[in-house]
Amino acid sequence: MIDLRGYFDKYGSEIMIFAAMVICAGGLWGFIEVVDEVYESDTQPMEEKILQTFRDPEDPAAMRGPDWLRKTVQSISATGNSTVLILVVLVTCGYLFISGNHKAMWTVLITVCGGAFLVFALKGLFDRPRPDIVPHLAEVTTASFPSGHAAISTIVYATLGAVVCRVLPTHTLRIYTIAVAATMAFLIGCSRVLVGVHYPTDVLGGWMLGLAWAAACWLVVLYLQRRGMVESEDDSEGKKVREP
C-alpha cells in the first residue's frame, strides 16, 4: 500500500508548485474564454433569462421564495464587500505581525492589494454595463465585468486559506480549510447574480481571475521560500505568539 502521508511529506513542495501552476493556467485560460464570450455577447440573452428566473414574475423587484431567503442572500453578498474583506485581511495581518510571520503578512497584503488593483483596472478596461433586466437588490457604483466581489473574495479567501494551511498539523484540516475558503467565494459570487447586479459571466470571470492571480502569487511565494526569502512551512509552524 502506498504511504500517502510519507509521499506528501517527501514531495509536498513539488506537488504544491504543480498544483499552483495548473490552477494559474486553468484560471487564466478560463478568464480568457469568458472575456471572449462577453465580447461576442452570445450568452447575454441566456444570462438575462437566468436573472429573471430568480425573480417573481408579478414583481421583478422581489426574489422568488420566502423573505428570509432574500435577506440571507443579501447578507452573503455583503460579506464580499470591500469593508468586510479589508477587516478580514487586517485582522489576519495583525495576527501574522504579532506572531512574527512578517514576510507572510506582506505576502497577504501584496497579493490582496495587487489583486484589487488588477480587478478595478480590468473593470475600467471592459466597462461592461450592469444588467438592467431586473431591479438591483444591492448598491453598485462600478462596471459589471469582472465581478469585484467574486474576484477579490476568491483572492482573499484563497490566500488566507493557503496561509492558514501552512500551520495546520493534518491534511484533513488543510482540506477542510480550503473547502471553507472555496465555499465562501462560491456563495459570494452566486449571491451577486441573485441580487441582480451581475451577469453570470461577470461572476465566472471573477472567479477565474481570482484563482489565476492567487495561484500566480503563491508560485512566487514558493519560489521565494526556496531562496529563503519567505518563511517556509516548517518555520511558520515553529513560530508562536509572543507573550507580553
The pLDDT confidence band at residue 2, using thresholds 50, 70 and 90, is: low
**Interval 40-49 mean pLDDT:** 88
Cα 104 from Cα 224, distance rounded (Å): 11
pLDDT of residue 3: 57
Three-class secondary structure of residue 55 per DSSP: strand
Is 213 within the bounds of a domain? yes
C-beta pairs of 105-108 under 8 Å, 24+ apart in sequence = 107/159, 107/163, 107/217, 107/221, 107/230, 108/159, 108/160, 108/163
The pLDDT confidence band at residue 231, using thresholds 50, 70 and 90, is: low
The pair phi, psi for residue 59, each rounded to 5°, is -145, 90
Cα 93 from Cα 70, distance rounded (Å): 33
> Is 102 a residue of the active site?
no
The yes-or-no verdict on residue 141 having pLDDT over 80 is yes
Cα 17 from Cα 15, distance rounded (Å): 5
**Interval 215-236 mean pLDDT:** 71
Can you list the alpha helix ranges (DSSP code H) found in 147-232?
148-165, 171-194, 200-226
Which is the catalytic residue, given 102, 136, 149, 171? 149
List C-alpha distances in Å: 162 to 82, 94, 140, 179, 215: 21, 17, 30, 11, 10
Cis peptide bond prior to 135, omega within 30° of 0: no
Is 54 within the bounds of a domain? no
Number of independent structural domains in the chain:
1
**Interval 146-164 mean pLDDT:** 93
**Interval 48-62 mean pLDDT:** 91
In Å, the largest CA–CA distance within the chain is 62
- Please, is 182 exposed, middle or buried when counting C-beta atoms within 10 Å of its C-beta (0-12, 13-18, 19+)? middle
The yes-or-no verdict on residue 6 having pLDDT over 70 is no
pLDDT tens by residue, 172-194: 888 899 999 999 999 999 999 99
Which is the catalytic residue, given 102, 136, 171, 198? 198
pLDDT of residue 190: 96
> Is 171 a residue of the active site?
no
Is 38 within the bounds of a domain? no
The yes-or-no verdict on residue 64 having pLDDT over 70 is yes
H or E stretch at 62: strand 59-63
Is 35 within the bounds of a domain? no
pLDDT of residue 208: 97
**Interval 51-73 mean pLDDT:** 91
The pLDDT confidence band at residue 165, using thresholds 50, 70 and 90, is: confident
List C-alpha distances in Å: 135 to 29, 128, 131: 32, 17, 9
pLDDT tens by residue, 95-132: 989 988 888 888 899 999 999 999 999 999 999 999 99
- The residue with greater pLDDT, 208 or 61, is 208
pLDDT of residue 17: 83
Is 2 within the bounds of a domain? no
The yes-or-no verdict on residue 236 having pLDDT over 70 is no
Question: Of all residues in the chain, what percent carry a pLDDT higher than 90?
Answer: 59
Is 127 within the bounds of a domain? yes
> Mean pLDDT in the chain?
86
Query: Which structural domain, as residue segments, surrounds residue 193?
Result: 79-233
Is 55 within the bounds of a domain? no
Is 109 within the bounds of a domain? yes
pLDDT of residue 226: 72
